[in-house]
Structure 1
Amino acid sequence: MGEPRVLYITGWLRSGSTMLGNVLGELPGVLHAGELHYLWQNGILKAGTNSTCGCGADVTACDLWSKVVTSTGGDRLGEARLMTLQQRALLRTRHTRDRIAESTGRVATAPGVAEAVGRTAGIYRTLAAHGGERLVVDGSKFPAEAAALLGRADLDVRVLHMVRDPRATAFSYAKAKDYIDPMSPARSSGFWTGFNLASELSGHAAPDRYLRVRHEDLCRDPRGTLARVLRFAGLDDAPPADADGNVTLGVNHTVTGNPDRLSAGPARIRADERWRTGLSARARAAATAPALPLLGRYGYPILT
């Protein structure tokens, strides 16, 4: 077996990465791991609010993850605590430029970085032997982590940057979900701008392994956009959805992510346009202002 092939999804939250990952996971040899970054905090230490695998079992009781964490030594609490500390100290969005400089060989790698991403690489290798032989999809959405992973010679990492209109994500953040508190429109769009800028920067570590996809294009043309993503990921499969975005989802083994990941059966890739009528003029303006530097770049109008 060669280097594990990984599709690392980055960008701001609530941009459709869970649905995309689950759809890709319907292909043979493709495993959607969900937000793997939180395996140690939520799954092992139970220090987060989302410790259930996509299959419905507790992560450490899941047939897949119990084998993965045991075989990689990830079940040791001390190591899990160290991993979460290193993630916070080295792999936050603010660390993206430093991790890019290291991945491109401009500076020496900071202490702890290789150790932290090495643990993640170990999980990828194990997943590649347990259902992800062709591709592991990681929807963690940490640009600094993506940049650090791109610098590893023992992985074949491709970064998929997902973008969604900031007004839509602000509307989504107006209500809490099972594991995320609500957020004001201005705060949501502030993070939207920071995460998307950092995601673009992460692609600078390896421009030929970076692709940006808009959520709206995935919903408008599901098969065409999925085909584009598959080719980028190095797969030649037909998209596992019809022209209208209909797909049948099986049980998955995602660590953390949108609660919708717990649902299986018929599903449809489609846009949620409720924000167009549900977002007040004041909230719309508050969500638009922080995102102004990137709206035109991503093809979103200022006025909606």
Structure 2
Amino acid sequence: MARVLYLGGLGRSGTTLVERLLGELPSVCALGEIVHLWQRDIRDNERCGCGARFAACTFWRRVGDRAFGGWGNVDVDRVHELRDAVERTRFIPRLAGARIPDPAVREYASFYARIYAAAAEVSGAEVVVDSSKHSALAHVLRWADGVDLRVVHVVRDPRGVAYSWTKTVSRPEADGADEMTRYSPGRSAMLWNAHNAAFGLLARRGVAVRRIRYEQFLADPRAALTDLADFAGIPLTDRDLGFLGDGYADLGVGHSAAGNPMRFTVGRLPLRRDDAWVRSLPGGQRRLVGAVCGPMLRAYGYPVFKEA
């Protein structure tokens, strides 16, 4: 059975950083955002975290061979059809309430399960990390056969998330020809509420969920990684955390299939909180996000209103 650590939460919450550090642990293989693999990698042949085009990456070629007898055998149209039928935020109440899943849910989940199992076999890892983030996909994956699903729910102050969504960020995997999606602060606040609530619902459906706050993770990454390794069932020694220094991490080459541009970083990565929003997010937008997200801010231990 493939043991899968699924990183969930709204985008721009720090999941790529958590994934990169987890990927440095022994017996862990970080795969990136598998939810995007079908289009961006199989069809568009974008760049793997190692820098090679997906079709030229030895790791992913071997995964495709084991999972499907080659990526050319994957019916991407069928995957997209299933995604549209079952993996949408508006379907979460139906997914969460189901006692017996729709056959389409199991079929869609099976595509992911085959990738997880093949990646574990190719890498020799005990745990694979999928940083897809999507709450609806996490609800789908609880029905995946042969998957030991453990969810890490990553939460960040929604005002920091909102500010990040307003920034223009190029996508290196598209060789600068494309940019990451942007949202208004009001839109990102509503999404923050919806996605985080969905992960709380997942925990009430019997799935193992561990919530971490981005800010606390960066305050003590050594302790946070030790806790997550225990959650994933990976024994650690001090030597296993040798890539962590005082305020930095030394990263090797990874094979993240999709995600934040940080997945291409190799070498020394400073570990510091991105609190630019405190100075740069206009006061009116800060107050708007605080008001929209107020109840859940309190639940997660954040101040509802925070001025610069």
TM-score (norm 1): 0.91
Q: 1:72 to 1:189 in 2, by over 3 A?
A: same
- Residues 110 and 145 in structure 2, CA contact (< 8 A), matched pair in contact too: no
Q: Which moved more, 1:144-153 or 1:215-224?
A: 144-153
Which of 109, 112, 120 lines up with 1:117 in the alignment? 109
2:249 pairs with one of 237, 247, 263 = 247
Give ranges in structure 2 of 5+ residues lacking alignment.
171-178
Counterpart in the other structure of 1:147: 139
How far off is 1:153 after superposition?
4.7
What are the superposed Cα offsets for residues 158-186 of structure 1, whole Å, 9 maximum, x if unpaired?
Answer: 01100000000111111122242221111
- How far apart are the structure 1 equivalents of 2:28 and 2:39? 24
Identity across the alignment (%): 36
Greater displacement, 240-249 / 20-29:
240-249
Q: CA deviation at 1:68?
A: 1.6
Q: List structure 1 segments (4+ residues) > 3 angstroms apart after TM superposition.
A: 241-245
- Alpha-carbon separation, structure 1, partners of 2:48 and 2:197: 30
* 8 A Cα contact 1:144 1:202, kept in partner: no
Give, as a single letter, the amino acid of the residue that structure 2 aligns with 1:265. G
Q: 1:228 maps to which residue?
A: 227
TM-score by length of 2: 0.90
- Aligned-pair Cα RMSD in Å: 1.8
Q: Which residue of 2 aligns with 1:259?
A: 261
How far apart are residue 294 of structure 1 and its match? 0.6
Distance 2:246 2:288 in 1: 33
Unaligned stretches of 5+ in structure 1?
none
2:205 alignment partner in structure 1: 205
Q: What is the aligned partner in structure 2 of residue 71 from structure 1?
A: 66
User: Which residue is equivalent to 2:14?
Assistant: 16
Supply the distance in 1 between the matched residues of 2:84 and 2:267 (Cα, whole angstroms). 36
Distance 1:139 1:221 in 2: 21
Q: Give the direction of change, closer, same or farther, for the CA distance of 1:113–1:132 in structure 2 (3 Å limit).
A: farther
Identify if the C-alpha distance between structure 1 residues 78 and 126 changes in structure 2 by more than 3 Å, giving closer, same or farther.
Answer: closer
Deviations 1:53-82 (A, max 9, x none): 101111122111122223323623761121
1:151 alignment partner AA: W
2:148 alignment counterpart: 156
Give the structure 2 partner of residue 36 of structure 1: 34
Indicate how the Cα distance of structure 1 residues 22 and 79 shifts in structure 2: closer, same or farther if over 3 A, else same.
same
Structure 1 Cα separation of the partners of residues 200 and 65 of structure 2: 35
Choose from 77, 80, 86 the match for 2:76.
80
On the 8 A contact 1:97/1:144 being kept in 2, the answer is no
Amino acid at match of 1:86: L
Partners in 2 of 1:276 and 1:101 — Cα distance?
A: 39
Give the Cα separation in 2 of the matches to 1:134 and 1:111. Answer: 29
Aligned-partner residue type, residue 71 of structure 1: R
Query: Which of 5, 26, 33 lines up with 2:3 in the alignment?
Result: 5
Which residue does the alignment assign to 2:173?
Answer: none
How far 1:141 sits from its partner (Å)?
0.9
Instruction: Report if aligned partners of 1:7, 1:158 keep a CA contact under 8 Å in 2.
Output: yes
- Counterpart of 1:195 in structure 2 is 195
- Alignment partners' CA distance in 1, 2:85 and 2:148: 25
* Structure 2: distance between partners of 1:231 and 1:99: 28
| CA distance in 2: counterparts of 1:185 and 1:254, whole angstroms | 28
